[in-house]
Amino acid sequence: MDTGTHVVMGVGIAGLATLDPVVANDSTLFNAVFIGTIVGSIAPDFDTLLKLRNNAVYIRNHRGVTHSIPAVILWGLLITSALYFIMPGVSFLHLWLWTFLAVILHVIVDLFNAYGTQALRPFSSKWIAYGFINTFDPYIFFLHVAGIVAWLLGATPGITFLVIYIVLILYYIKRYNDRKEIIAKIHEHFPTTEYVATSPTIKQNEWRVAIKTTERFYVGHVENGHIQLFDEFERLPLPNSPFIEVAKTDKNIAAFLSFSPIYRWEIHEKERYTELRLIDLRYRTKGYYPFVAVVQIDHRLQILNSYTGWIFCERTLQRKLLFGDSPT
């Protein structure tokens, strides 16, 4: 989810915590829980700072280690310990329980959008992305905002957010069933389908889809249950050549390959170099595929330039290749 949604969810969990009589009867503990749930709700995304280094490091690690099982445990303990040091005497157990819940919910809700997380690390490095909740879902965000406003106007926060979370559980079930119906329909149209990447838009009845069959890739749009295809590509494996082996050692190409489950490739022969371009098919926007990885290798198999990230015009990509994306 986006940072704003994580923040309002932290406030919501703090409101829910007032159902705990130990929290409700201790104003100092409540203040600690309020801070702990907000910080806990955003803590796993501190790895966003990796973007200051370069996109390759960011893509390989964002929602990786910081969303892993050990990290979830450590976030709760670190935040609780810091708050307990500042506010000694409060119940460490109850402070930890609510802070820990905020951290867990952050990771859980991130599982349901198209980007996903590596939440099963260290047991598995697989990306888990169920793809039925938008990164910014207005229903989720504004339900929390409504709950916060009701709280400020005097509503009982515990009951208010309990009702909101029950509604949201039902909402998640609905969205899961929506996605399930879309995938079933795709399998009817394309019986050899091996993988479907779904990405809901802000509109409830519109979804982006990328389909991998045994022989082809299809990119399309689903609206009100109707599938409209925009692009179709032959599915070809990367060539087996020294050029490709060198390309795979590049940090940007390696980062892309570790993250993208459905992509196509292009090889362009230039006068001074050969270029490999990998294009993620999940994020088609206005006829353009903005998430790419590119490497340029000269005829001596030396890597000249490379880049991975979000690019919306060729001119910007060429500038990134020339000057790089690291602030240093």
Angle at 77 between CA 20 and CA 100, to 5 degrees: 40
Report yes or no on 270 lying in a domain.
yes
Could you tell me the two tokens for 75?
């976030």
How far apart are the two ends of the chain, measured CA to CA in Å? 29
Q: What is the reported pLDDT for 309?
A: 86
* Alpha carbons within 13 A on the beta-carbon side of 269: 1
| Residue range of the domain that includes 130 | 3-174
Please indicate, yes or no, whether residues 151 and 256 belong to a single structural domain of this protein. no
Residue that the structure tokens 């169920």 belong to: 130
Report yes or no on 114 lying in a domain.
yes
Measured from the Cβ of residue 79, the count of other Cβ atoms closer than 10 Å reads 24
User: 122: cis peptide before it, omega within 30°?
Assistant: yes
209 forms beta bridges with 198, 220
Report yes or no on 98 lying in a domain.
yes
* Rounded CA separation 287/236 (Å): 22
Give the chain's domain count.
3
Report yes or no on 297 lying in a domain.
yes
Report yes or no on 179 lying in a domain.
no
Please indicate, yes or no, whether residues 230 and 255 belong to a single structural domain of this protein. no
Report yes or no on 181 lying in a domain.
no
Where residue 320 falls (left for φ over 0; alpha for ψ -120 to 50; beta otherwise) is alpha
Pick out the chain residues at pLDDT < 50: 326-328
Measured from the Cβ of residue 7, the count of other Cβ atoms closer than 10 Å reads 17
Report yes or no on 223 lying in a domain.
yes
Sheet holding 226-234, edge to edge: 193-200, 206-213, 216-223, 226-234
Please indicate, yes or no, whether residues 261 and 168 belong to a single structural domain of this protein. no
Could you tell me the two tokens for 138?
């207005």
Please indicate, yes or no, whether residues 223 and 281 belong to a single structural domain of this protein. no
Report yes or no on 187 lying in a domain.
no
Please indicate, yes or no, whether residues 272 and 156 belong to a single structural domain of this protein. no
N residues, the chain: 328
Write phi, then psi, for 89 (nearest 5 degrees): 100, -20
Please indicate, yes or no, whether residues 158 and 199 belong to a single structural domain of this protein. no
Please indicate, yes or no, whether residues 115 and 47 belong to a single structural domain of this protein. yes
Please indicate, yes or no, whether residues 34 and 158 belong to a single structural domain of this protein. yes
Q: What is the reported pLDDT for 209?
A: 96
Please indicate, yes or no, whether residues 170 and 303 belong to a single structural domain of this protein. no
* Rounded CA separation 318/307 (Å): 9
Q: What is the reported pLDDT for 159?
A: 98
* Rounded CA separation 150/247 (Å): 55
Please indicate, yes or no, whether residues 203 and 248 belong to a single structural domain of this protein. no
Please indicate, yes or no, whether residues 13 and 39 belong to a single structural domain of this protein. yes
Q: What is the reported pLDDT for 9?
A: 97
Please indicate, yes or no, whether residues 164 and 44 belong to a single structural domain of this protein. yes
